[in-house]
Chains A and B, each alone.
Chain A
């Protein structure tokens, strides 16, 4: 809401600077977005009168003029063609500043001295819309007889200071000069000068010209109309145009300007109909008929339906209630009599209608917040008073006021102690009452009953009163305290939360960087991931109003997003990256969804560059170790369509699936524009949490020495080392302490189709030194087992 300072001053004495006012208003709840000082960058531009014009001796297109600026006569050379002798014009003197950082200095134009510049509208940064009398091209000509030498800003009304307030949705009353003036008065502890409006009503009875009927009172609690005869359509006076412009509204003509002026001043949108276009002299407020259409003032044909409220005459709709008037009853230059409408419409209805029509207007934006029913008549009175003041017509007697259901006044008990307890303050009852009264609440000091003014529909209960009081007491005057002891609670993370944090910490210590990606994605990702059409992962939660297809479903897998991150880095020529993300996948129970989907946390790992499958796996193993998870295995996965069939494993913890790691299928890498060797892991966080064990128990340090034996064997290529290890573990007996794989070799000296595998096996007993014989026995059993089960050939 843009409030010209002068306008505010009509209703409250403001004796502080605009900046001080802004700061104070911001801290009492009317946040100031900005202060605009019109003409800030214009200086030393004054009114001048052209007293002679001569041709420039050396230039056809230039003229040499003498300009009287009151105190002296100056010579100005100009290229303008529209000026003539005795014209009053704005002239920028030597040393003047103009918008766009322009400075006027003494100069010569083709050898002739020029001590100033005549100004066009554009040079003053004004628009032709605001000054329709300005010439298409050339100098702006002022009214003859304007005081010479006077500052142009004053003459043209470009010296207004306007404060732009951000008004919260609960305060439609502050979308008005009156409302803001009231707030300013309480903020500055000044008197709020309520508007005094008196209408002469020199015409005959208004009801001779119009009647009003409300058919749908649920959507229109009140409709009031006034009739103005002998209308003289013309421009509004300068002061009104200036205020409208400063508030961001374009002046049109006196009648339309009055409706806008009152809307800004009172916060009550108004409309004016040309009486001759209201057929049957009857205004009917009703729901639109199915299929009814109306051309609105913006020349658009609107299709209406029965959820929308219209203003109609006997035969047709003439306005969409609270949104926009119809072209069929528009005030034209030849209007002789007009009907002023001031009404209250249901906010929700107006909002939905505006939304359906795609037509949000200044009026609808106000109505939808819920306006004051009691403001309808005062605003109407102000409008017709302005008609009389401007001499725009003769106001007829009486208001045609249809007020179906009177609004009940809200009352609240004021309990000063309770409010002080709630706020943590020690505000006296008197101070509370003073603030409330200044805000036009009625307070009965015997019963402590507070009557809420009709324009404050946001105030419903005690907490609202508390806010009103503390806004002006000062939020920042409340003493900061700490919660009292009763609320003492133990602050901690849950076990799950600690494990999740530990997972992140471990990933970081493994050298991975954390990524954050969006949770919605494109259904096209499923194809890029090679997923079959019947894949469960394709059953995703769909957003009904997405930002676009790329963001249209909630992801069921995180790997597509990790691949996109890798692709971003790879395509920026970054030669390696190691990343992880902790995020959710969203798995619907059924589609279309009725219940909330399961949100399953996933740890995603992604790597490329100087790395391989075993580094990825190593990271996962470090994590499992950190979480105290011992019972796990990695099982080859050959049939995941997104992964390399020979370089992928699932992680199985205690017999249950807990994730997948592997090299990305080259076809998938290619589609995501990732390097050919890209490694991904997706680990189920819930499984990690469930199987983690943070309990540590001390085991006595060994007292007896260990014995180590190294063995190397040749096995068939397809034998996995896990098979070898299982045999060793199974055969070695209790004295086995550890087995370590230290070499896997293929190539020279190893026959085709075979590989050499070497282990170091450690034995130890906790109660004695092992004898060679014991160890020898165990080794024999191991070797026999390897020979018999996997045809291992011992290498010497």
Chain B
């Protein structure tokens, strides 16, 4: 019987090593270990054995069973792995087929630029102020030290509604509204839409956008203005950006400056974008004119401030290399998708 058991073991092991599928293996298991299997039937014959032989044969039989069971378990794992590999091999897909997308839209380049500017200044502790686009002459001109018949009014061709109401030509009007309503310290930026009666062409639009900044407090210096604009320029145009101030004239600031940034394309060496100047003019700035402070009821002996303003269109056009301002208002979807 002992021999019989060993034969079973050898035979089963041989068959198992030839098994290729789980089904083969299962058949072998039934054949040897099943209820009607060969090992089972051998065991069933144990009753005929003597009492001395029975435990010995029993032990051998158990050993054989255990060995076979282990073998089967091992094989099962191996065959399962193999079958899974086959399945996986059959499941290959073309991963280069485009994914399923819901489709995101995009913000307009002007919004992108103005949002970035807002973020920079919010980070520096500024609030965002707003004011009307259809504005009183007083806020747009008079309170900004541009009285009636001032030649500066000619420079900004203004759309009028009537003698006292106009479409604001500059977001500086919001400065006055802020100073009338708020005590220093004041730190605001005012992004918004402005109007000038320029005919539409590649570089002009009767509707455009500015972002104005205003700071008023005790001890605000021109050095602070320069420091602020430097941070701003670096945030918007990159860490290596430098700025340059040129004296200029605005009725509502004194001293006044036009501010250039080093060319974002060539870094200042001179190229097509900066017309070989190395610098690109992006904003106007200055120390708030004492007259303007006084008009708003702020004592110019105690307080000082600075203001600056830049055009969003020009900034966006520079940033995104857009060569025609009309594209910004045409809203061709193929244009809008590019930002």
Which residues of A does B touch, CB under 8 Å?
26-29, 31, 168-171, 347-348, 351-352, 368-369, 421-425, 458, 461-464, 466-467, 470-471, 475-476, 478-484, 486-494, 497, 501, 504, 507-520, 541-547, 551, 554, 565, 568-569, 572, 574, 577-580, 584, 586, 592-593, 596-597, 599
Contact B128 A493 (CB under 8 A): yes
**B86 on the A face (CB < 8 A):** no
Contact B221 A486 (CB under 8 A): no
Contact A467 B256 (CB under 8 A): yes
**B272 on the A face (CB < 8 A):** no
Contact A518 B206 (CB under 8 A): yes
| Residue in A26, A171, A544 whose CB lies within 8 Å of B162 | A544
Report B71-128 residues with CB < 8 Å from chain A CB: 102-108, 110-111, 115, 118, 121-128
Which B residues lie within 8 Å of A29 (CB)?
A: 246-248
Which B residues lie within 8 Å of A574 (CB)?
A: 332-334
1/0 contact string of B201-245 vs chain A (CB within 8 Å): 000001100000001011111111011101100000000000011
Which B residues lie within 8 Å of A352 (CB)?
A: 149
Give Cα distance in the complex from A461 to B123, angstroms. Answer: 35
Q: A493-B122, A508-B106 are in contact. Are A593 and B165 (CB under 8 A)?
A: yes
Closest to A30 in B: B247
Give Cα distance in the complex from A171 to B247, angstroms. Answer: 12
| Residue in B107, B127, B336 whose CB lies within 8 Å of A489 | B127
Closest to A352 in B: B149
| Residue in A28, A470, A492, A514 whose CB lies within 8 Å of B106 | A514
Contact B206 A541 (CB under 8 A): no
Closest to B289 in A: A463
Which B residues lie within 8 Å of A480 (CB)?
A: 223, 226-227, 230
Which residues of B does A touch, CB under 8 Å?
102-108, 110-111, 115, 118, 121-128, 132-136, 149, 151-152, 154-155, 159-162, 165, 167, 185, 187, 193, 195, 197, 199-200, 206-207, 215, 217-224, 226-228, 230-231, 244-249, 251, 254-258, 287, 289-291, 304, 328-334, 336-337
Q: A169-B155, A569-B331, A593-B161 are in contact. Are A510 and B254 (CB under 8 A)?
A: no
Contact A424 B217 (CB under 8 A): no
Which A residues lie within 8 Å of B227 (CB)?
A: 480-483
Contact B255 A463 (CB under 8 A): yes
Contact B206 A492 (CB under 8 A): no
- Min CB distance A605 to B, Å, is 11
Q: A169-B152, A491-B187, A547-B199 are in contact. Are A481 and B221 (CB under 8 A)?
A: yes
Q: A481-B227, A482-B228 are in contact. Are A508 and B221 (CB under 8 A)?
A: no
Give Cα distance in the complex from A480 to B333, angstroms. Answer: 43
Q: A352-B149, A544-B160 are in contact. Are A424 and B223 (CB under 8 A)?
A: yes
User: How many A-B residue contacts, CB cutoff 8 Å?
Assistant: 241
Contact A519 B244 (CB under 8 A): no
Give Cα distance in the complex from A169 to B248, angstroms. Answer: 10
- Min CB distance B237 to A, Å, is 16
Contact B255 A421 (CB under 8 A): no
Which A residues lie within 8 Å of B185 (CB)?
A: 486-489
Give Cα distance in the complex from A638 to B251, angstroms. Answer: 55
- Min CB distance A322 to B, Å, is 14
- Min CB distance B50 to A, Å, is 63
Contact A423 B167 (CB under 8 A): no
**20 sample A-B contacts, Cβ–Cβ < 8 Å, listed by A number:** A422-B222, A461-B291, A464-B254, A466-B287, A484-B224, A493-B128, A494-B128, A504-B107, A508-B105, A513-B331, A514-B111, A517-B331, A518-B207, A519-B195, A547-B206, A568-B330, A569-B331, A586-B134, A593-B165, A596-B165
Which B residues lie within 8 Å of A599 (CB)?
A: 132-134
| Residue in B161, B254, B329, B334 whose CB lies within 8 Å of A517 | B329
Q: A169-B155, A516-B110 are in contact. Are A579 and B333 (CB under 8 A)?
A: yes
Q: A422-B287, A599-B134 are in contact. Are A475 and B245 (CB under 8 A)?
A: yes
Q: A31-B248, A511-B103, A543-B161 are in contact. Are A351 and B149 (CB under 8 A)?
A: yes
Which A residues lie within 8 Å of B127 (CB)?
A: 489, 491-494
- Min CB distance B310 to A, Å, is 17
Contact B149 A486 (CB under 8 A): no
- Min CB distance A371 to B, Å, is 12
**18 additional contacts, CB 8 Å, given A27-B244, A592-B162?**
A170-B249, A171-B249, A424-B224, A470-B222, A470-B255, A479-B226, A480-B230, A482-B228, A487-B185, A490-B125, A491-B187, A493-B122, A541-B161, A543-B167, A547-B200, A574-B334, A579-B333, A596-B165
Closest to B123 in A: A491
Which A residues lie within 8 Å of B334 (CB)?
A: 574
Which B residues lie within 8 Å of A515 (CB)?
A: 108, 331, 336
Give Cα distance in the complex from A351 to B118, angstroms. Answer: 40
Contact B220 A519 (CB under 8 A): no
Closest to B187 in A: A489
Contact B247 A471 (CB under 8 A): yes
Contact B222 A516 (CB under 8 A): no
Closest to B158 in A: A545
- Min CB distance A637 to B, Å, is 26
Contact B134 A491 (CB under 8 A): no
Q: A466-B255, A482-B224 are in contact. Are A513 and B132 (CB under 8 A)?
A: no
Closest to A471 in B: B247
Which A residues lie within 8 Å of B255 (CB)?
A: 423, 463, 466-467, 470-471, 475
Closest to B221 in A: A424
- Min CB distance B232 to A, Å, is 11
- Min CB distance A2 to B, Å, is 20
Which of A26, A169, A514, A544 is most buried by chain B, counting CB atoms within 10 A of its CB?
A514
Give Cα distance in the complex from A569 to B335, angstroms. Answer: 11
Contact B287 A463 (CB under 8 A): yes
Contact A519 B221 (CB under 8 A): no
Which A residues lie within 8 Å of B197 (CB)?
A: 545, 547
Contact A476 B245 (CB under 8 A): yes
Contact B245 A577 (CB under 8 A): no
